[in-house]
Structure 1
Amino acid sequence: MNKFIPNLATIDEPLRQLTQKGVTFLWTDRHTDAFEKIKDAMSRAGKLGYYDVNDRTIVLADASPVGLGAILAQIDEKSETRIVSYASKSLTDTEARYCQTEKEALSLVWAVERFQVYLIGRPFDLVTDCKALHFLFAPRSRPCARIERWVLRIQAFEYNVIHIAGEKNAADALSRLATLESRPFDTSEEMIIREVASSAAGAVALTWAEIRNAYEEDEELKEVIELIEADRAQELPMSYRLISNELCLVDGVLMRIDRVVIPSKLRNAVLRLAHDGHPGSNMMKSFMRTNVWWPKIDRNVEDFVKDCRGCNLVSAPQSPEPLVRREMPNGPWQDVAVDFLGPLPEGQHLLVVVDYYSRYVEIREMTSTSAAATIQELSAIFALFGLPLSLKADNGPQFNRDCEEFNSFCQENGIKLINTVPYWPQHNGEVERQNRSILKRLRIAQQLGKEGKMELTKYLLTYHSTKHPTTGKSPSELMFGRRIRTKLPHVPQFRMDDEEVRDKDREQKEKGKEYTDAKRKARISEISVGDCVLMKRMKKTNKLDSEFLNEEFVVTRKVGMDCTIKSKLSGKEFRRSVAHLKQLESKEDDKKEGNEGTSTSKAECQTEKPSLPRATKSSSSDLAGEPTRKRVCREPRRFQDFVPH
């Protein structure tokens, strides 16, 4: 009766004392009073409602000196409140010695964990009559160690702590339940049967009688059965005519060899049954093919799995986008990228600046990453190489558009600031790749016991004088128009023509794109403005967190892979890469297509095996979403200043 009686742990505390070890069994008026209260509460126990995923959920919790109490309730669209479940727990000897604030905090944590099957993955309100908890459970609070550990236990839940007065808290005591009445419950047999049937829909196995009765309401199958009984298979609808030699009637049930042909009314119920445990579409189709059939069953299974909320939240992200290669700038030090690498063991950071044309790298060691310190170092670098046209950076606090100081610096110097897509370092891939190389050399120096700064200087000298695999020329040649001198002997050479460098750069980028897109099975995203999507969860608190947030967003802007999305609940906007979004199936399109297709291809009816694309030589370019570009061969300009004889 625990879930039907609120605050049971407090009411039966005198009776539980008699069961403790070493306590003399002595029945007094106090125990009689507690016993009578329990009997009275059992006789007046109200009806509990059914949990509805679409209604607002609230959890009310309270603590007494001897126990904890909690109520799980919901508020429907008519603003009517219904009780889903009660819960109570007696305090241990240690817990009973907690101060009252800690007891109240414990009641919240215990209530959330007690009802976690209803709360996980869904927002809810956590109601308490202890005002201190409203601040202790806030994101920026600094509670004591014990309460902080309790807060960490419920970090996986999406809750909002709400304070109400004690006399309005339904979990406070049995005598105060009048402020949270359950809505009137229809006790008629018809209403009870309807509630039980609707809540259990799809969870109960189908019977032969249900299937036969459903045939009477399916006009198409009634016609099919009549034609089969009359031996007029040539008049069957196309989807049944192709398999007419496999159809038969067994005890009034239409069968395809050893599989039951399901009427349209029961197909959704069969899909829900087959999706118990949330198998994938391939496993679900394999499972259903051994038992049931109807036209377009494979398509219906795929649509059902795509529309499953739980599968969408935890399944892997969609196929990656094809690589996007940018053209080389017109000259050196026009487009540069900047990023911070660190912190290093001594607390310092490295400011890394990369030129997109020459791939030339500049590094500065910094003890502070503030906007002022960053501007000072960049000004020193720009004094050597000049002011660039554009500067690409991530969304760090010193670079983002909220930093007026850095934005003013860029505007004063005529530099276009480009911020990358949040949580998408590939957008600034050139500098991220350099960070990886720099970090590798620093790790080697640490393992060998060498001075990291000196080893990094040696690496930069070698890197700047080595041919880059993409351009075919060293960064120093493209940056300064000459090779820099190293410890190795070399013969001075004239500068190679810029057009040849561009051809080499374009060719290598196309090769890399074609290979990478084919290996990653990349395909162009179908997400467009106005689509409903899920957003990837960038920070997980535990292993059970879903891949995507349980919240729907609408795409309001899309430029390449850069998307701006807006929350349907809060209206807040986010900027994300299209790789961090998952498109949701349009329910309106599903209704138009319907789950009861009456036509299917001959191959699907006969084999029902998913077709696999055949590998061809041009599969890599097909996956990339665009035709492979051919190299344009030109005669170098140095041969055009004279006429050969």
Structure 2
Amino acid sequence: MSTIIWSCEHFHLYIYGSTFSLVTDHKPLETIFNNPKSRPPARIERWRLRLQAYTFTVKYKRGVDNPADYMSRHPNQALNQSSEEKIAERFINFVAEYAVPKTISLSDIAEASTNDANIQRAIRNLRSGKWHNKTENKQKHSFHKVRNELSIANHDGKEFLLRGSRLVIPFSLQRKIVEIAHEGHQGIVKTKQLLREKVWFPGIDSAVENLCRSCVPCLATTPENKIEPLKMSPLPDSPWNEVSVDFCGPFPSGDYLLVVIDDYSRYPEVEIVHSTSARTTMTRLDKIFATHGIPQVVKTDNGPPFQSQQFRDFSKYMGFKHRKITPLWPRANGEVERFMRTIGKLIKTANIEGKNWKQEIHQFLRNYRATPHSTTGIPPATALFGRNITIRIPEVNFKKDDTKIRQRDRKQKEKMKAHADKKNQAKPSKLQKGDTVIVKQKRENKLSPPYNKKPLEIIENKGSMITAGNEDKTITRNSSAFKEVPKPEMTEITEPSDPPDEPPVSRYNLRKQITPPKYLDDYVVTGISS
């Protein structure tokens, strides 16, 4: 019974709240626990009450078949200690190892002073009144400057020094006394103040400073704003040669912003995404690279999408170099980080004004790209495209000399027009305003005619774009989609007049004259009229 109690309490973490079976070689226990009508003695009843927190069924198994039977008959002597004894032993070991008292008694100071050469020399100098001789510089003596404050004290027949009312600590105990004063990890100033109230020794300030500055717990818990000088990145060789990529968000709507900035022109591209997965990132970057081209270097942070194998494969496929900045140091990607702060301000202002921030981003990007950058002095769009983009603010555009471009454009268009017109047998449209036409329709089945039978009247004619309609609808199509319906014309039928008499034509005149070949000139040919 006691074994059941011990095992249940020992494995409480694993069996509490679950139903389990308890196998024993003591058959009476099966009746005591499984039979609700059993009435065991009071002592066993108390044990049953201790086990009410567990739900189990007792099963009987012979000792021959029970693996626990062998272990109970061959106990390990090293494991005979109870759990309470083990806890007590561990506590004693902990105290012996980590809680050794560090208190320094007056006897320890007197004993150490007896073995300290500097203190013994100072005691001799105090008694003789001579602090230096011809071979010794008085400035080199540790106690020379405070000689008027020193006095000799005695404890158990051993002498030590006092500076006023403070103990002079020998060299062997200086480290230990500073460690005691630094218990609780006070700062340098507080530790000095505590020591100066009780003790003194030469170099006490530097000893405290060295110990406090090398204390690892103090270093770990003391914030320090240590920043190295900025290392400016060189300007890339050309536009869209190096780009910086980062995410901004998430926002309350659950959206993120994928920000891509050209490090040369500072031209930004912003994509609204619903996920920061590698698949989404690669899809949007592929779209941007299809517009501006593939850069040589893509600089990112160490976020999950940029650390994935998919993105590494994407960089190899595209052929750009993926450069990752120092982890947890966003200043290394300062260009895009600064731009995201501006984007964050835009979204906040749009929220205050009750506007759609997704629509406001387009207005912001239009103006930002046309505004001269504070670093380059040139609008990002101009630096990237070589031209100014048109915004809602009017400006004067000076025409550039593009004669060569226009000549080549006209020549290529004429060549293409001639080829296409010849291939398609194109003819100018003769349709005019007011003509009746029928229009092509979508073929729904094999019986559907190519044109709609309902006639339309041309309302407007703008080059090859024709608008026709009737009472029901109006349709605008290319002229090739219309077929003219000719208007019926009534003509008068008259009898043909008799033709004038003409002289008969000889049938020989209608035939080809046949002449003999010249090599037959010597012969007389009959039957052929000349």
Q: What TM-score does the superposition give when structure 2 sets the normalisation length?
A: 0.55
Quote the residue 1:431 is aligned against: 336
- State how far apart, in whole Å, the 1-side matches of 2:141 and 2:355 are: 78
Which of 350, 369, 373 is matched with 2:280 structurally? 373
Pick aligned residue for 2:206 from 274, 290, 299: 299
Equivalent residue for 1:201, pick from 94, 101, 109: 101
Please report how far the alpha carbon of residue 175 of structure 1 lies from its aligned counterpart in structure 2 after TM superposition. 5.3
1:228 corresponds to: 126
- Measured in 2, the distance between the counterparts of 1:381 and 1:97 equals 68
What's the CA shift for 1:100?
7.7
Is 1:453 equivalent to 2:358 in the alignment? yes
Q: Does 1:240 align with 2:143?
A: yes
Q: Residue 441 of structure 1: which of 346, 360, 379 is its match?
A: 346
Contact 2:240 2:262 in 1 (8 A): yes
Cα distance in structure 1, aligned partners of 2:243 and 2:97: 65
Q: Secondary structure at the match of 2:305?
A: coil
Q: Name stretches of at least 5 consecutive residues in structure 2 with no aligned partner.
A: 17-49, 57-73, 401-530
User: Is 1:219 the counterpart of 2:142 in the alignment?
Assistant: no
Match of residue 463 from structure 1: 368
Does the aligned pair in 2 maintain the 1:168–1:179 contact within 8 Å? no
1:112-163 CA-to-partner distances (Å, cap 9, x unmatched) read xxxxxxxxxxxxxxxxxxxxxxxxxxxxxxxxxxxxxxxxxxxxxxxxxxxx
Contiguous gaps of at least 5 residues in structure 1: 1-6, 12-59, 68-94, 102-166, 187-194, 496-645
Q: Is the 8 A contact 2:301 2:325 kept in 1?
A: yes
Counterparts of 1:238 and 1:358, CA distance in 2: 69
Find the partner of 2:238 among 320, 331, 336: 331
Q: Supply the AA of the counterpart residue of 1:453.
A: K
| Aligned residues of 1:261 and 1:294 also touching (Cα < 8 A) | yes
Amino acid at match of 1:449: G
Letter in 1 for 2:274: T
Q: Distance in 1 between matches of 2:399 and 2:180?
A: 75
Indicate yes or no: 2:318 matched with 1:413.
yes
Q: Is the 8 A contact 2:192 2:205 kept in 1?
A: yes
Correspondences of 1:103-502 after superposition (within 5 Å): 199-202=99-102, 204=103, 206-234=104-132, 235=136, 237-251=140-154, 252-317=159-224, 319-400=226-307, 403-491=308-396
Is the contact made by 2:235 and 2:264 (CA closer than 8 Å) also made in structure 1? Answer: yes
Rg larger in 1 or in 2?
A: 2
Distance (whole Å) between structure 2 residues aligned to residue 181 and residue 208 of structure 1: 34
Task: Kindly report the root-mean-square deviation, in angstroms, between the aligned alpha carbons of the 2 structures.
Answer: 4.2
Q: String of CA shifts for 1:259-284, please: whole Å, max 9, x gaps.
A: 33210122122112211221012221
Q: Give the aligned length.
A: 335
**What's the secondary structure of 1:418's corresponding residue?**
strand
Change (3 A) 1:169 1:290: farther
Deviation at 1:381, TM superposition (A): 0.8
One-letter amino acid of the counterpart of residue 361, structure 2: L
Could you tell me how far 1:352 is from its partner in structure 2? 0.6
Paired residue type of 1:391: V
Q: Report the Cα distance in structure 1 between the residues aligned to 2:351 and 2:75, rounded to whole angstroms.
A: 63
- Post-superposition Cα deviations, 1:278-330, rounded to whole Å, max 9, x if no partner, equal 10122212332333222222222122123333223322246222222212212
Letter in 2 for 1:219: A
Q: Which amino acid aligns with 2:355?
A: K
Give deviations 1:140-199, integer Å, cap 9, x for gaps. xxxxxxxxxxxxxxxxxxxxxxxxxxx9999x996578999969x99xxxxxxxx97994
Question: Retained in 2: the 8 A contact 1:347–1:367?
Answer: yes
* Cα pair distance change 1:295/1:490, threshold 3 Å: farther
Worse-matched range after superposition: 482-491 or 377-386 = 482-491
Counterpart CA distance in 2 for 1:97 and 1:283 is 57
* Letter of the structure 2 residue corresponding to residue 450 of structure 1: K
1:425 deviation in Å? 1.9
Superposition deviation, residue 410 in structure 1: 1.3
Return closer, same or farther for 1:480/1:247 CA change in 2, 3 Å cut-off.
farther
Distance 1:258 1:174, change over 3 A: closer
The CA deviation at 1:390 is 0.5
Which structure is higher in RCO with an 8 Å CA cutoff and minimum separation 6?
1
